[in-house]
């Protein structure tokens, strides 16, 4: 069953393989605290494994319909971001997406905590990284007002 969640998450992650940084992104003004491009791959690889494990735990327990829905929603919002930011080249829409993603992850951790505390701990680094990505997206948006 865990393998199925790893496959589902890998499918969502594959959107990031299609919509990647390009000349448009390279030309954007970025804050000095932007990590080098090579950092994103390893960080997301670990986070996607954690997301899959959290989903597997959530779906293995009875009575977790809300948590299940939130897990699916966060994965969809996660997969949408590269398309919106790199594909559509829309930092405004990407900022809205990542804000919704943060809320979704935070609510998921809140809902899952009483049912399976490990899910909260598994998703904490994900929430922190998405918070950082939100700030980075906002900084890019503010630094490139056109």
Structural domain boundaries, residue 46:
2-17+41-143
Q: Tell me, what's the pLDDT at 127?
A: 98
Tell me if 84 is assigned to some domain.
yes
Tell me if 87 is assigned to some domain.
yes
Give the span between the Cα atoms of 120 and 122, in whole angstroms. 5
Tell me if 28 is assigned to some domain.
no
Total domains, the chain = 1
Q: Tell me, what's the pLDDT at 115?
A: 86
Tell me if 35 is assigned to some domain.
no
Tell me the residue length of the chain.
146
Encoded tokens for 112: 């899952």
Give the span between the Cα atoms of 54 and 60, in whole angstroms. 10
Tell me if 101 is assigned to some domain.
yes
Q: Tell me, what's the pLDDT at 25?
A: 93
Quick check: 125 and 50 in contact, CB under 8 A? yes
Question: Does the pLDDT at position 146 exceed 80?
Answer: no
Question: Does the pLDDT at position 138 exceed 80?
Answer: yes
Question: Does the pLDDT at position 99 exceed 90?
Answer: yes
Question: Does the pLDDT at position 79 exceed 90?
Answer: yes
Tell me if 50 is assigned to some domain.
yes
State the average pLDDT for the chain. 94
> N- to C-terminal Cα distance for the chain?
46
Q: Where are the beta strands (DSSP E) in the chain?
A: none
Tell me if 22 is assigned to some domain.
no
Tell me if 88 is assigned to some domain.
yes
């Amino acid at each position: 069953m865990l393998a199925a969640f790893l496959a589902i998450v890998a499918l969502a992650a594959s959107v990031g393989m299609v919509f990647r940084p390009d000349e448009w992104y390279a030309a954007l003004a970025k804050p000095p605290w932007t990590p080098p491009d090579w950092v994103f791959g390893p960080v997301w690889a670990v986070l996607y494994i954690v997301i899959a494990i959290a989903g597997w735990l959530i779906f293995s327990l009875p009575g977790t319909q809300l948590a299940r829905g939130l897990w699916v929603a966060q994965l969809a919002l996660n997969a949408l971001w590269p398309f919106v930011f790199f594909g559509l080249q829309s930092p405004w829409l990407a900022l809205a997406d990542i804000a919704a993603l943060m809320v979704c992850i935070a609510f998921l951790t809140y809902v899952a905590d009483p049912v399976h505390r490990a899910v909260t701990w598994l998703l904490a680094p994900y929430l922190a990284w998405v918070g950082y990505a939100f700030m980075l997206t906002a900084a890019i948006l503010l630094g490139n007002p056109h």
